[in-house]
Structure 1
Amino acid sequence: MTLSEQQRWITVQEKTFTKWLNTKIGVRNLEVKDLVPDLSDGVMLIHLLECLSHESLGRYASRPKLRVQKFENANLSLDYIRSRGIQMTNIGAEDVVDGNRKIVLGLIWTLILRFTISDINEEGMSAKEGLLLWCQRKTACYNEVQVRDFSSSWNDGLAFCALLDIHRPDLIDFDTLDKSDHRGNMQLAFDIAHEEIGIPKLLDVEDVCDVAKPDERSLMTYIAYWFHAFSQMEKVENAGRRVEKFFNNMQGAWEMQNAYERRMRELLKNIRGQIEQWHTAKFEGTYADAKAQAAEFSEYKRGKKREWVAEKSELATLLGNIKTKLSTYRLRPYEPPAEVSQEVIERDWSGLTKSEMARAQLINETIRDIKNALRKSFADKANDFAMALNTMQLAISGLDGDIEDQLHHVKKLSDNLQPLDRYLSTIAEVDAMCEEANIEENDFTTYTYDELAYELTLVRSSVQKKLSFLENQMVARNMTNLTPIQLEEFESVFRHFDRDASNSLQELEFSAALASLGLVFSEEEMHDYFVETSGGNQYVTFEQFIRFMVDVTEDQNTAEQVFQSFREVADGKPYVTEMDLRHSLVPEEVIDTLLNMMPPHNGPDMSRDRGKAQYDYISFMEKMMGGDDADDDIPAGVLQDRTNIGDNRPRRDSKVNGVHG
């Protein structure tokens, strides 16, 4: 051991022993500040021994001035220590008076061993081994703690925290500690031990944490305080448990009697209250209420009834146990009061059984009556509704005569649909009540709600279709510039894309309808056409659609338009490929004919088209437009006929406010 290490543990011991000594003489309002000098006159040593032994050492010089008086005090103390059978070697009065630091520390350590540590006993081991074994057992369940000695095993603070946690888990939560914060853990343990348990702070954190091998004697002295504090706590707790056990044994019979009477009164109260509740219960006349009361009755059978059966049995057993226990202790037999006797519970239980049977019969009878009333209510409404639908269907099928008169009658029929919707809602409510009542058959009608709803849908569709047909016929009658075939085709397309049968097309439906007729535009152009045709509305009516198609059919293709279309198909190139034509949705048979007619292209081309057949549509169109080198082999009008199939598109600049130039 180096000189510095030796000096360090001497300093720690002196500080620790000073604090230990002060805890002992503090009852006399005395305090030692500097251990060795303050003990040199023997007075404090005598006070310490009297406090430790609770005995008087006799007369001594309380204020020694002379060296001889100090020697007498020191010898008095040492002689008393030897008289107690405490072995001391190589220590004399001069060591105390002259302040031999090591000898004085050894003397104090001897007293600590004798009066603080020696009474620690674990399985017959020595005081040191017993204290170490106690620490190991108390911290065995903490994986982070390994107590091997009274030195380095303690310098991370976790062993102290573990001792606190195992004895007083209400003061510290070991699992939440930062295991790497040694100083913080140590300080926390020291503070809690001092403030909550009363263990004096004999050590400072730096005495343990900042050294590789803390002083063993100082640690043992401090840990011994922990042992005594927690051992005393356990003694108090054990004594309390013995008192509690004695009290429980003495009070057991009395508590059992009180419990029997209290529980029996509660059971009788519940039984009588249940019988009264059934006698006063009323039905609202609805299936939901009757079913709720039936469910409540079933819940009673599964819950309360079983609890009461068990309670009745347990009370009979409890009464028998009370009598047995009193007999065992030779105490006066117990007879329960008359109002909670076994005879009373048997009488009330019989009344409960009779009331229960009557309640079940009443609930079942009420549910049967309500179900039958629901069947009749649904049947009456369903039959009336079906008759109204049949009358309306006959009225639609029997319409004839002038279109205006038919349209007037159909509109009146359409107005009658809304009352039918409301009446169907009423039927739906009754049907829902029937479903809730689990009614699966009804001998009073052949109709179901789903059938009636479906038939109403058919009637509504018939009215709507008839109304649209008549309105469209009036529109068509005024369109004299369309052939019947064209009108039939346009109306068929309109009907196909009118998904909701509203006699109108939304923007997407309008676009799809035009595309099916070969009219394909850019998204922006299509939106402009829709806005213009609809007049700014969110839909296009049949009349607006037909007028748009009239305008389109009046716009005939010219050679210049076809030439411009070829340029658009070719994306501005001086030639066109088969793939260009296919991407433009030109029909297959038109592509085959055009490829046979157009001459090959021999000029510059795009890199992406190399290796593909390229056709000179410019030369082809020049021939078709009557150029000097026109090919007489091409039949007249073939271009007009072929291109009309794939390019019936109105030009944006050819239509102004619905009028073509």
Structure 2
Amino acid sequence: MSDTLIIKSISSHDVSLKDWIQVQEKTFLRWINSKLQTHNHPPLLSLADLGSGVDVYHLLKCLDPNFSLSPIYQRPKLKFQKMENLNRVLDYLKHGQGLQIHNIGAEDIVDGNLKLTLGLIWLLLLNYTVFDNSEETDTFSKKELLLRWCKKVTASYADIRMTNFTSSWSSGHAFCALLNYFKPDLLDYQKAAKMTTLDRLELAMAVAESVGISRLLDPENVDCIKPDEKSIVAYVSLFYDRFNKEPVRDTVSIKTRLETFLGVVTEITGLKTDYLDSLARLIERMRETLDAMQRLCDDVAAKHAFLRSFRAGKKRQFLEQYSKLESTRSKINLMLVEFHFSQLSEPQGCALQDALALLRKVVAQEQALSSDVAAQLAHLKEDSFSKLRHLSHKVSAGLDLIENDVLHLSDVAEAQVNELPEIMGDLHTMEKLYERLHGAKEEFCRKMRVMDQSFDFKETEQLYRVEELGFRIKLVRHILVDKLTFIETQFDKKERIVKRMKTSSELSSVQLCQLEMIFEKFDQGDKMYLNKIEFREAMTFIYPSLSTSEADNLFEYLYASTSDITRGVKLKQFLEIPGLFGEKPDRESEMVDLTSRFYYEAFEEASGGRGLVGKADLERLQLDSRLVAGINEVFEREDDSFNYSRFFDGDDTLLAGRPLQLDRVLDGLGSVNIDEGSVANDI
């Protein structure tokens, strides 16, 4: 460790290294002499006089009455004698006092190393002078303890901020405060505060000398931004030595007690004022509310609205404010008792007991109002519900009759044409009645919402029935409209077909529909006509006994009878073919019977007569996948097959038709000369 680190002091920026060393040398020399003087030892002329070691022994005896060592040589002449004296005392300080003396040797002192000599004196000053035997030395350093003592003494001086041993002392106020505190008759702090810094420092040092404190420093050594710290500590330690036996008044505690008392009294006064003002406002508001309750009209909606608003707002506010006032009153009384004051007095008619009595009246009036509203609401609710239930019963009964009429509609389309409009008229009447029912339901729900009422199970069920009736009405209307649309479509289709044929047809509408579907089935590519091959296949499908040549002759006949350039037979001509045939029972070539038997036989052939047709049977025939997908809706399923025989065991009158004869057309075709060579390939 270097010499500089051992004795480094905190000096001001405007003092050179040489200057502060000189200040420390002067201060420490004066400090040593002040101690030697107490035991009548001659003063030192310079710190170099410590080199013999003898004066170090004298100094330690002054600092520590228990120090009993003596120098080996009382008048050393030679260097080694001086070093032996110093080695003995340094060894004592290291091992006997536990001082951390590093890098300071006897030879350094003998040779007059000023920096290391100053470092040794600083260690002696801290060890023997500042707070010797203090119980707080285990927690704070001795320098810190000295600073704490200074803070305690100067705590009542507002213009002093005691934080260190440098800048806190440069103005001289701190020295004046110490002296004024212990010797107020010798130094007037207020007058000293108005002096210049040098004058103030000179005054403090002069007064200190008068009470036995040696002048270790000169004013100019302190009047700088940061005086030398070690020098200040050395000087202030003499103040401590002089005054540490005198009691220090705990001005902070006195100040704290006074401020606490005044703060509490002020708080009590403020609390009392706020308490009485808040209590008066609460009583006034509760009186106004009670008066408003008593003046309410008989309108249940107005009463209910008032109750809802009161419970959500004012009632909670009243309870909360009363609770706060009760707590505040208790707090005020506790504080008054603590300081031996009389308990809180309240004006007559504006006491907390008055507020409580008024609050109870408000709550009682609220309960009476609530009972009255509940009774009126129950009556209104029952009236509205009875109306709703009565209308619901009427709509349900009427709808039951309409659904029964729909269920027993005639299977004949012409009869349904007459029956359906009448049912639609009844349904329209029922829809009007349902509008009233729905309005009653909405009004009932609105009242329940306004009154904050909930629905019980009976009411919930009734509301569900109303919605269900609306659904049933829509469903019946959909069924009726669907039936009317279907019948209209069928009549329109039959009329369209008849117009195309320009003659009346004895075929049923179902047979005409089937012929049109057959045409569309064989019309590959949706060309709106059948070429020769397609026509041949369609005719042999309808007339199984018709030969290929007869079908081709019929195609050429129909093609020759039109002026169309298209090489084919159109739908109009196709539908006219059955009209060309007469009835000759002895003729075997009849039109296929487009009844259930016709289709049943197709399923028999596809399934091998099992009564069940499987998916594999249908896939083998390469049927239209869209039609196959719908077979679940037609036949009952058994494992991976469908039972078609059970379906065809039912009534097939809907598909019943009249078989048609080919005789007349074939006879007519026999007289027609058609040039086979002129017939082109099918297009």
Report the TM-score when normalising by structure 2: 0.41
Structure with the greater alpha carbon radius of gyration: 2
Compare relative contact order (CA 8 Å, sep 6+) and give the higher one, 1 or 2.
2
Report the TM-score when normalising by structure 1: 0.42
